[in-house]
């Protein structure tokens, strides 16, 4: 990132990993005295803060599946395109791991989840709205006499 020294960038990277200001400053190459007394100033530096925020945003977006990824996974399960390692008993106390396609129950569950997403399992109810006219004061007009 432009505007950061190598030490500042290393500090920011270490801080993202540990969340510890002091340790991050020492690992980045700052003196022990600076790390103890002044390292909090590094987090106040606009460039360092922006770099940390940018890196965290990238890391978070890589960790969290988006809607498209979830939909593609559910579709591949429903179609039986994915496999799962399953231990199979082969005799004499031994097991063998085989890659098996999802069973019908798993495929059906994926299909139901996809159907819910597209609103296939909701009842459609036709509703007609009627206008009711209420005139305030008409109901208590008899009481005034």
Low-confidence stretches of the chain (pLDDT beneath 70)? 1-2, 137-145
| CA dist., res. 102 & res. 136, Å (int) | 64
CA atoms within 13 A on the CB side of 24: 22
Residue 142 gets which letter from DSSP?
G
pLDDT of residue 134: 72
What lies within 8 Å, CB to CB, of 26 at 6+ separation is: 32, 35
Q: Which of helix, strand or coil describes residue 126? A: coil
Instruction: Please state the domain extents for the chain.
Output: 6-63, 67-117
- The encoded tokens of residue 143 equal 């009481």
The yes or no reply on domain 6-63 and CATH 3.90.1200.10 is no
How many other CB atoms sit within 10 Å of the CB of residue 73? 14
End-to-end Cα distance, the chain: 84
pLDDT of residue 97: 93
Tens of pLDDT along 79-102? Answer: 999 999 999 998 888 999 999 999
pLDDT of residue 68: 87
* Cα 36 off chain centre by: 35
pLDDT of residue 3: 84
| CA dist., res. 23 & res. 97, Å (int) | 44
pLDDT of residue 103: 92
| CA dist., res. 99 & res. 101, Å (int) | 7
Residue 123 gets which letter from DSSP?
P
């Amino acid at each position: 990132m432009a505007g950061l020294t190598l030490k500042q960038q290393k500090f920011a990277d270490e801080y993202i990993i540990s969340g510890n200001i002091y340790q991050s400053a020492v690992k980045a190459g700052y003196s022990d005295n600076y790390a103890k007394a002044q390292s909090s100033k590094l987090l106040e530096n606009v460039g360092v803060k922006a770099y940390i925020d940018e890196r965290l945003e990238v890391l978070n977006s890589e960790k969290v599946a988006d809607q498209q990824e979830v939909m593609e996974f559910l579709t591949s399960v429903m179609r039986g395109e994915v496999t799962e390692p399953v231990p199979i008993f082969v005799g004499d106390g031994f097991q063998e791991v085989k890659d098996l396609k999802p069973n019908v129950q798993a495929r059906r569950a994926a299909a139901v989840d996809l159907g819910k997403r597209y609103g296939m399992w909701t009842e459609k109810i036709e509703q007609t709205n009627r206008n009711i006219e209420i005139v305030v004061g008409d109901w208590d007009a008899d009481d005034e006499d």
